[in-house]
Amino acid sequence: MAKLEILVYPDERLRQVSQIVKAVDSKIQNFIANLKETLKSLPGCVGIAAPQIGRFERIIIVDISSRPQHKNHGHLVLVNPVILFSEGNSVGREGCLSVPEYTGKVNRAKFIELEAQNEFGSNVTYQMEGYEARAVQHEIDHLDGKLFIDRLVGKRNDLKRRMDI
Ligand SMILES: [Zn+2]
């Protein structure tokens, strides 16, 4: 299975708004398998959105289970995710596969309720909070052409260069 190339800022394609997936058919499922494989090949990454690999459809994967200190629902494939309700605020540092050299502080809702379809086309709803909710909000932003650097809390001296690269 092909590991797919990640689009990196300032690639204009990252600004494209992704389209709704009309049907979770075998083509979409094949694509999801590739997306999973790509995410798995990137150690430490907790999420990926289809547009990051140049496919502009509303599909994200989030899996924070490698950080069990945070409450989570395991490996989540979310097709056409929509946030129905959000509450609270929390500021935390985020990074992104598409902005590989920096991290920055971003304000996100603390708690969200969302609906989506899973990889089999069934409707699912989740309530989530904290780090998992942050990761989902970050990935949904990609579907709308937004990056975490658009949402930085402080304009000055907030972006940090990653020291581990
Ligand atoms: Zn990202």
Summarised one tens digit per residue, pLDDT across range 41-59 is 998 899 999 999 999 999 9
Q: Does domain 12-150 have CATH number 3.90.45.10?
A: yes
**pTM of structure:** 0.94
Give dist(CA 128, CA 148) in Å, integer.
20
pLDDT band at 3 (very low <50, low <70, confident <90, very high): low
Where is pLDDT greater, at 162 or 77? Answer: 77
The residues that are catalytic are 139
Distance 125 CA to ligand 1 centre (A): 22
Helix (H, G, I), strand (E, B) or coil at 3: coil
Average pLDDT, the chain: 93
CA distances from 88 to 28, 129, 132 (A): 34, 10, 14
Q: Given the DSSP bridges, would you call strands 111-117 and 47-49 parallel, antiparallel or unpaired?
A: unpaired
Give dist(CA 16, CA 38) in Å, integer.
21
Distance 141 CA to ligand 1 centre (A): 8
pLDDT band at 29 (very low <50, low <70, confident <90, very high): very high
pLDDT of residue 155: 67
Distance 136 CA to ligand 1 centre (A): 10
Distance 64 CA to ligand 1 centre (A): 14
Give dist(CA 90, CA 113) in Å, integer.
16
Please give the backbone phi and psi of residue 160, each rounded to the nearest 5 degrees, phi first. -120, 135
pLDDT of residue 1: 54
Whether the per-residue pLDDT at 165 is higher than 50: the answer is no
Distance 118 CA to ligand 1 centre (A): 20
